Amino acid sequence: MVTLLLDSTQLEVVLSPTERAMSFRKTNIVVPREHIERVQLTDDAWTWLRGVPNPGINLPVAVGMGTWK
């Protein structure tokens, strides 16, 4: 599970080494706060996952990591 760090300027998604390897990312994900339009909490993230991981891994209802397009 990722760690989310939020401050007044940005949201940072901190990935573990395993998550970085499986998602083919070398760094954490940083999103400027002004680019965030809305946030929604959900109990089942799989219902919101759309697209194709490129690069990445998708094993339905088990693993969904990568850059989704």
Does the pLDDT value for residue 65 go beyond 90? no
Q: Which domain holds residue 47?
A: 3-68
Pairing relation of β-strands 10-14 and 3-6? antiparallel
Residue pair 69/54 in contact by the 8 Å Cβ criterion: yes
What span, in angstroms and rounded, lies between the C-alpha atoms of 4 and 29?
10
Does the pLDDT value for residue 55 go beyond 90? no
Specify the higher pLDDT residue, 2 or 3. Answer: 3
Does the pLDDT value for residue 30 go beyond 80? yes
> Domains in the chain: how many in total?
1
| Short-list 6, 35, 23, 48, CA closest to 15 | 23
Average pLDDT over residues 18-32: 87
Specify the higher pLDDT residue, 31 or 20. Answer: 31
